[in-house]
Amino acid sequence: MPRFLTIFFSLLLIDYLAFRALRVVMQGATRFKRNFWYSIYWTISAFSLISIALYFLGILRDMSPFRLFVQGFVSVIYFSKIAVVFFVLFEDILFYSKRVIQFLKQKFTNQNADRQETNLSSANKITRSQFIHKTALVAGALPFATLSWGIISGAHDYQVRRRKIYLPHLPKEFEGFSIAQISDIHSGSFYNKTAVMGGVEMLLAEKPNLILFTGDLVNNHPDEVKDYISVFNKLKADFGVYSVMGNHDYADYLFGISAAQRQKLRQKLHQAHQALDWHLLLDENLFIEQNKEKIAIIGVQNWGTGGFPKYGNLAKAYEGTQEAGVKILLSHDPSHWDAQVRTEFQDIDLTLSGHTHGMQFGIEFGDFKWSPVQYRYKQWADLYQEKTSTGKTQYLYVNRGFGYIGYLGRVGILPEITILTLSRNL
């Protein structure tokens, strides 16, 4: 409840500050026009706040259209208002700074001259205030349009990204072996089944030898994937489909339930992987073999830094893989790579992760990429490599995610299907 109240009153404050910009801009309009636009503004705000309150209190949360409305429309509304608030607060700083300066001048200079200067300042202030508040509304309109377009167009604009992984010690039988990686499906956020199926068909068209999923099948509850079993069970490959758990797959973000209920929900999600015909790896490994040559697939439960759960036991998952020519680790959170993989398990050749989504917002142009998430994660999208103390190269690939959560779209950082080709040759 304290968390809910903090969020609720923070959003109410944002509503009030953004309304101030509208009120200044509407100065000089007829009373009818002012009342008309004020009514629209507060009706939308009240509807948004009530929806958020119902969501946090658990009322109607299980209704998919309602949940998607809160995650989509309401998030766009408040991101846009935050842009408006920035300019409103900037105007407040200017206004009160001048008031302080004028007060100090009245104490130390001629009062009549100050009064004239104050009047001139007041006249100028109205012009400046109108300009800044109009700019604020334009600033709010820009993210509203951009984020709305990200929902309409970017959410399902799947990109196939191909990378070659050079492994000089790769067994000859696996030369050219192709791996498809997807991550962060977040089925509870989907609202367009046809578009999602299009992404699955794009992956199948690549005809990979192996498909690997690196966690976050749902947002919170295993029932979220129920309507998409028939979509994702189409994923097939000659060497199978293997998966691990992400931080959203443990029902940790469902509040007001017992530990026993939480465990039952986790088991239900395990059953969903079985229904998909995906082999879920829970701190375990297996070998893929061709003509007696082997590579190991190691799957660890979620292990993350920065407050994310550390359920995984990499030592247990790794055990028994020493004989494999190449070792591939599935670990949802890329922070695991620097924190443990590179320091304690230097013979793991390739780690596959997801988790960051590229924040679903950023810029990618050629080799240049930027997203705010890079200030939280050192490795946040695409391929990374580092040398071990013995001179061996370890690789990490961070998938940008197949789905989305919170904001129901993507701007700049588009959903990804990764195709990795293993090779002994550069």
Is the separation of the CB atoms in 324 and 297 below 8 Å? Answer: no
Is the separation of the CB atoms in 350 and 214 below 8 Å? Answer: no
Please tell me the distance from the alpha carbon of residue 136 to that of residue 152, in angstroms, as a whole number.
Answer: 25
How far CA 42 is from CA of 50, 88, 143, in Å, comes to 12, 18, 20
pLDDT at 130: 83
How far CA 19 is from CA of 144, 166, 183, in Å, comes to 16, 57, 40
Name 287's bridge partners.
296
- Residue 113 reports pLDDT greater than 50: no
Please tell me the distance from the alpha carbon of residue 54 to that of residue 405, in angstroms, as a whole number.
Answer: 19
Averaged pLDDT score across all residues of the chain: 90
- Residue 91 reports pLDDT greater than 60: yes
Burial grade of 228 (CB within 10 A; 0-12, 13-18, 19 or more): buried
pLDDT at 111: 55
Name 243's bridge partners.
213, 280
Distant-in-sequence, close-in-space partners of 410: CB < 8 Å, separation ≥ 6 = 150, 154, 155, 157, 360, 361, 404
pLDDT at 3: 73
Name 230's bridge partners.
none
- Residue 124 reports pLDDT greater than 60: no
Start-to-end C-alpha separation, the chain = 57
Percent of the residues in the chain that have a pLDDT greater than 90, as a whole number: 70
Nearest to 188 by CA among 405, 356, 359, 402: 405
Domain spans of the chain? Answer: 2-152, 158-423
Query: What tens digit of pLDDT does each residue of 303-341 get?
Result: 999 989 999 999 999 999 998 989 999 999 999 999 999
Burial grade of 322 (CB within 10 A; 0-12, 13-18, 19 or more): exposed
- Residue 127 reports pLDDT greater than 90: no
Is the separation of the CB atoms in 313 and 287 below 8 Å? Answer: no
Q: Across residues 31-40, what is the average pLDDT?
A: 94
Q: Across residues 392-413, what is the average pLDDT?
A: 95
- Residue 123 reports pLDDT greater than 60: no
Q: Across residues 94-116, what is the average pLDDT?
A: 74
Query: What tens digit of pLDDT does each residue of 346-384 get?
Result: 999 999 999 999 999 999 998 899 999 999 999 999 999
Phi-psi region of 296 (alpha: psi -120 to 50; beta: other; left: phi over 0): beta
Fold of 158-423: Purple Acid Phosphatase; chain A, domain 2 (3.60.21)
Beta-strand (E) ranges in 183-264?
210-213, 241-243
SS3 146: helix
- Residue 67 reports pLDDT greater than 80: no
pLDDT at 1: 62
pLDDT at 340: 97
pLDDT at 257: 87
Q: Across residues 203-232, what is the average pLDDT?
A: 96
- Residue 85 reports pLDDT greater than 50: yes
pLDDT band at 120 (very low <50, low <70, confident <90, very high): very low
